[in-house]
Chain A
Amino acid sequence: MTRFDQHRPPSRDVETSIFQYIVAAIFLWLLTGFWQLQVQNPEVYEERATLNSVKALPIPAPRGRILDRDGRVLVDNIQTFRLMLSRDAVRAESAPLIAEGLDIPYEELVDRLGTVGIQPGPDYQQVVLKDGLLLSEVAFFEAHRGELPELELIRSPRRRYPLNGMAAHMLGYVGQISKAQLNLEEFVLHKSGAEIGKAGIERRYNDFLVGKDGRRLVLVDSRSRRVRDLNREEAEPGQTLRLTVDLDLQVVADLAMGDRRGAVVALDPRNGEILAMVSKPEFDANAFVGGVSEAAWRNVARDPDKPMLNRATQAQLAPGSIFKPFVALAGLMEGVVDKDFQVLCTGGASFYGRYFRCHRAGGHGWVNMEEAIRVSCDVYFYNLGKELGIDRIAKYAELAGFGSRTDIDLPAEAEGIVPSSRWKIRFFRDKWYAGETISVAIGQGALTITPLQAAHAIGGLAMGGVWHRPRLIADSEAAKILPNYSPPEPRRAEITEEQLEPIVRGMWRVVNDGGTGGRAMIPGRSVCGKTGSAQRISLTLAFENDDPRLLDDGWFIAFAPCEAPEIVVSVLLENGEHGSWAAPIARDVIKAYFDKQERRARPLRQQDQPGAPQTAKAESSRP
């Protein structure tokens, strides 16, 4: 006690001491709280804190749309929901619930859950669990969000092919990148799980069509509920691609083919632009988007009709008689024959000790080149081929573009075969026998071509020797999307007017003068054509076997107008028996082309103009 005590008022030392004890007690009580949380079992809360954390969610970029030459949509996107899985939060106990809600077989799901953890990539990254969710699945996820913190629902654009199978081969389809594709240079920029173009335009122009995915860093609480976005990089959509294809012609060609197997290619010989490309049977690419089941894929792959084959660029078949104009060209340019050279056809002829029949048993009598093309006389071309020899035939076949890729902007184009003595040595280690030339001269033998090559070749020939590389993207479009793009130079040959004339006249008469292609005739239009019927096996075998898949393939090539061609069409009917059956398909396409041109050239009809007198309507509506 100090000396001031006496002067002090009644001391409250008892009360203040009680207060001190209370302070001490309260502080101890608070400390026990921290002790329990921080020292006794901090793991519990550490775990909670990390669960309570950041999720990196992709913002998938929509692929670029694909348009036809008039800007009509061929391939588009729709908005769907996608379920993402946090690879660092995969829990085995969630599997039954997920399997039930998303209708994924339990074993398959467990299998996938087991592998997501070991895929390369940062832990916080999300992998796609299911794409294109049904509304019921979205509802299921929303209801169980709290129980399934490893899942996250995002909006994602999904590829949609509104033509439902039409032009499917040309357009291609998208799918998840495969393990093998991950190692291709073509897809070097893509990661596992990425959606890439697997075929057709989708694959060829994948780099332009894919956008750049955005990313969202999202804060989520311990129950996986979104707290807020930390960071947001918007997605850059892919570039829109405008094709040279004309949807009107595509539809006409598609409908004309019906459900027959085969292909149609229509192109503009003046620049190589593809106007239509049909391959039948087709497939609906919508079924492949977002993954296709193994069973469904096996079904397609084993279908004897080979629906996945793009017959326009990948079917390699003997051309038959549509090859004859090119043999004629070789004969004229090599000076072996002139247009007046005549051959007597008696229904067949012997060469090198073997009798070769003409398709007309009674023979065609005396035929010159023009007539030989019109009636497709085999004997004429046997003789011409014999005179030319295989290597000179091959030279002009190759000039026209047969035997090598046309380099169209589609993946996996086939080359076909142009046989020659060099080819024979190389692949068979044997010399060329002159007798083999006879078959090649009428487009049989080892010779095979694709429908695209047929259109390309006849187009260049009709242009007087200018073969433009076939293309699905016009030069003006390509210059926009490709840096340093320069249009490829066409392949040229000096074909004189005199050399061209008998071929073109012959082909005109095929269509317009009682020839084999009369079904391609369009009143008021000059259409040139040539039919072809190519044997798959020898005639004798065919008679003994009535398998419809061994019937002759029907071909038809055509261009119009004859004097200044604007459109070339080649048609292949697999097992179509005769080329004349293919002719009306070409006619429909060519007619559609000119009808459209006419429609555009014609001034606006008066009924479309406001205030026009009513009487004028009836006059101008129909001719």
Chain B
Amino acid sequence: MNEQYSWRDFDWTLLFVALLIAALGALEVYSATLSTPWHDAYLRQILWIGLGLGLLWVASIIDYHWLVQHAPTFYVLTLVGLVGVLLFGTVVNGSRRWLPIPGLANLQVSEFAKIMLVLLVARLFAELPKGRLDLPTLVKAGSIFLIPLVLVARQPDLSTSLSFLPILGMGIFLAGLPRKYIAVGLVAATLAAPVGWFLLSDYQKDRVTAFMNPEEDPRGKGYQALQSKIAVGSGGIWGQGFTRGTQTQLRFIPEAHTDFVFASYAEETGFAGVLIVLALYFGLLMRIVNNAQTAADPAGMQICMAVAALLLFQITVNVGMVVNKMPVTGMPLPLMSYGGSNTLTVFILLGLVNNVRIRRFTN
């Protein structure tokens, strides 16, 4: 595994696009927290971005084959961390999501679990015994994913646990799932939906009903959705201007610098600004897919596509929520939402993609 790589092989395009999005995110965090007691949040966000760049570099140089090989170890460590969260985690807003690291920060282990799952999916599906997917492998993969998924859902953090699914789904999809399984899976999902409804907790049900009809109770469950919609709408084509958004500055938008940062951004920069950021995200995803296509081996491809699937899922759920096309969930927008764990996780994931790219000619 001792190979040479040059700075020229580094994915500068990916890095540039990612940093551009992160910069716009930090600016919006600045604007959205301007009139709040935590108005220095943007400084910390910049710190996270800087730290993320360092971790991106680290995640790029350690050969991904080694990482994939040791995925089971990471898996066990992650499970220990998740159990630790359930036992010792700090409770915020009724959820136990953060593991306090003394002297450092609160770690959201479920975010870092995503990295581990990306590596794990590469390990599970890259080298299939018969060259194609069979039922035992599928059951095994499903079981392995189910444990962290349940642990995170118990926190409860439904949106993060759900974000594990696209990683698994993309792995199965690329492994070449037979058509009959796809059909069976679709039927099963249709049947499971009503059953799942009963398994949801009350606040989760409330969010779904509020999503269906936000105007029904504007102050209650539908409030966040409605305020977000008003914010986006009042942005118009050109936006109300940086730090000038009424909804943002008057703090009508809930979580204006975290989950709803894109609503603030849309209000202040308008449709034009939305178009730019969505184009950047689109470019980012296309670049990752391109890296998957040029990957040297199935493991590399699996890694890139898993990252792409995860990012697409998060972007869709978050931005969809902002325009009231998705229910309100606590899903951060990759690279834009304020937060340490999620920002670092995205940079590490991009580092893995870069890792695959650097080594695309080897082997």
A, B in one complex: yes
> Which residues of chain A have a CB within 8 Å of any CB of chain B?
4, 7, 9-10, 12-13, 15-16, 19-20, 22-24, 26-27, 29-31, 33-39, 41-42, 44-46, 48-50, 52-54, 219, 221-223, 225, 227-228, 230
Is there contact, CB below 8 Å, between B308 and A42? no
Is there contact, CB below 8 Å, between B252 and A37? no
Q: Which residues of B contact A26 (CB under 8 A)?
A: 312, 316
Q: Which of B89-134 contact A (CB under 8 A)?
A: 131
Is there contact, CB below 8 Å, between A45 and B323? no
* B325 interface contact, C-beta 8 A: yes
Q: Which residues of A contact B316 (CB under 8 A)?
A: 26, 30
State A101–B16 Cα separation when bound (angstroms).
Answer: 63
Known interface pairs A42-B237, A49-B234, A52-B247; 6 further A-B residue pairs with C-beta atoms within 8 A, sorted by A's residue number: A12-B292, A34-B266, A42-B233, A45-B232, A219-B250, A227-B252
Is there contact, CB below 8 Å, between B237 and A38? yes
State A23–B287 Cα separation when bound (angstroms).
Answer: 12
* B65 interface contact, C-beta 8 A: no
> Which residues of chain B have a CB within 8 Å of any CB of chain A?
131, 170, 173-174, 218-219, 223, 226-227, 229-237, 246-247, 250-252, 266, 270-271, 274-275, 278, 281-282, 285-286, 289, 292-293, 297-298, 301, 305, 308-309, 312, 316, 319-320, 323-325, 361, 363
Q: Which residues of A contact B170 (CB under 8 A)?
A: 19
Is there contact, CB below 8 Å, between B236 and A46? yes
Q: Which of B170, B275, B323 has the largest number of chain A CB atoms within 10 A? A: B323
Q: Which residues of B contact A225 (CB under 8 A)?
A: 219
Q: Which residues of A contact B226 (CB under 8 A)?
A: 222
Q: Name which residue of chain B comes closest to A51, CB basis.
A: B230
Is there contact, CB below 8 Å, between A38 and B282? no
Q: Give the residue of B230, B286, B298 whose beta carbon is less than 8 angstroms from that of A20.
A: B286
Q: Which residues of A contact B289 (CB under 8 A)?
A: 16, 19-20, 23
Q: Give the residue of A9, A16, A34, A52 whose beta carbon is less than 8 angstroms from that of B305.
A: A16
Is there contact, CB below 8 Å, between A37 and B232? yes
Enumerate the 7 nearest inter-chain pairs by beta-carbon distance, A residue then B residue, closest first: A45-B233, A33-B323, A49-B234, A38-B271, A42-B236, A37-B233, A37-B232
State A294–B206 Cα separation when bound (angstroms).
Answer: 55
Is there contact, CB below 8 Å, between A38 and B235? yes
Q: Which residues of B contact A16 (CB under 8 A)?
A: 289, 292-293, 301, 305
Q: Give the residue of A12, A50, A219 whose beta carbon is less than 8 angstroms from that of B301.
A: A12
Q: Which residues of B contact A29 (CB under 8 A)?
A: 325
Q: Which residues of B contact A46 (CB under 8 A)?
A: 233-234, 236
Secondary structure dominating the interface of B = helix
State A37–B174 Cα separation when bound (angstroms).
Answer: 36
Give the distance to chain B from A359, nearest Cβ to Cβ, in Å: 82
Is there contact, CB below 8 Å, between B247 and A38? no
Q: Which of A35, A52, A225 has the largest number of chain B CB atoms within 10 A? A: A52
Q: Name which residue of chain B comes closest to A11, CB basis.
A: B293
Q: Name which residue of chain A comes closest to B286, CB basis.
A: A20
Secondary structure dominating the interface of A = helix
State A29–B278 Cα separation when bound (angstroms).
Answer: 11
Q: Which residues of A contact B324 (CB under 8 A)?
A: 33
Q: Give the residue of A9, A36, A48, A222 whose beta carbon is less than 8 angstroms from that of B298.
A: A9
Is there contact, CB below 8 Å, between A38 and B219? no
Is there contact, CB below 8 Å, between A53 and B246? yes
State A388–B229 Cα separation when bound (angstroms).
Answer: 95
Q: Which residues of B contact A50 (CB under 8 A)?
A: 246
Q: Name which residue of chain B comes closest to A15, CB basis.
A: B174
Is there contact, CB below 8 Å, between B174 and A12? yes
Is there contact, CB below 8 Å, between A30 and B323? yes
Give the distance to chain A from B124, nearest Cβ to Cβ, in Å: 15
Is there contact, CB below 8 Å, between A38 and B266? yes
Is there contact, CB below 8 Å, between A222 and B251? no
Q: Which of B226, B252, B289 has the largest number of chain A CB atoms within 10 A? A: B252
Is there contact, CB below 8 Å, between A37 and B229? yes
Give the distance to chain B from A224, nearest Cβ to Cβ, in Å: 10
Give the distance to chain A from B234, nearest Cβ to Cβ, in Å: 4
Give the distance to chain A from B15, nearest Cβ to Cβ, in Å: 20
**Given that A38-B232, A38-B274, A46-B233 are contacting pairs, would A30 and B320 also be in contact in the complex, using a CB cutoff of 8 Å?**
yes
State A221–B363 Cα separation when bound (angstroms).
Answer: 61
Can you pick out 13 interface pairs between chain A and chain B where the beta carbons lie within 8 Å of each other?
A4-B361, A9-B298, A12-B305, A13-B293, A15-B173, A19-B289, A22-B312, A26-B312, A36-B323, A38-B237, A45-B234, A48-B233, A221-B227
Q: Which residues of A contact B252 (CB under 8 A)?
A: 52, 219, 221, 227
Give the distance to chain B from A145, nearest Cβ to Cβ, in Å: 11
Q: Which residues of B contact A38 (CB under 8 A)?
A: 232-233, 235-237, 266, 270-271, 274
Q: Give the residue of A4, A42, A49 whose beta carbon is less than 8 angstroms from that of B247.
A: A49
State A219–B231 Cα separation when bound (angstroms).
Answer: 15
Give the distance to chain B from A378, nearest Cβ to Cβ, in Å: 83
State A221–B224 Cα separation when bound (angstroms).
Answer: 11
Q: Which residues of A contact B271 (CB under 8 A)?
A: 34-35, 38-39
Q: Which residues of A contact B250 (CB under 8 A)?
A: 52-54, 219, 230
Q: Which residues of B contact A7 (CB under 8 A)?
A: 363
Q: Give the residue of B237, B246, B298, B320 whose beta carbon is less than 8 angstroms from that of A33.
A: B320
Give the distance to chain B from A284, nearest Cβ to Cβ, in Å: 44
Give the distance to chain A from B175, nearest Cβ to Cβ, in Å: 9
Q: Which residues of A contact B234 (CB under 8 A)?
A: 42, 45-46, 48-49
Q: Which residues of B contact A30 (CB under 8 A)?
A: 278, 316, 319-320, 323, 325
Is there contact, CB below 8 Å, between A222 and B230? yes
Is there contact, CB below 8 Å, between B323 and A37? yes
Q: Which residues of B contact A227 (CB under 8 A)?
A: 251-252
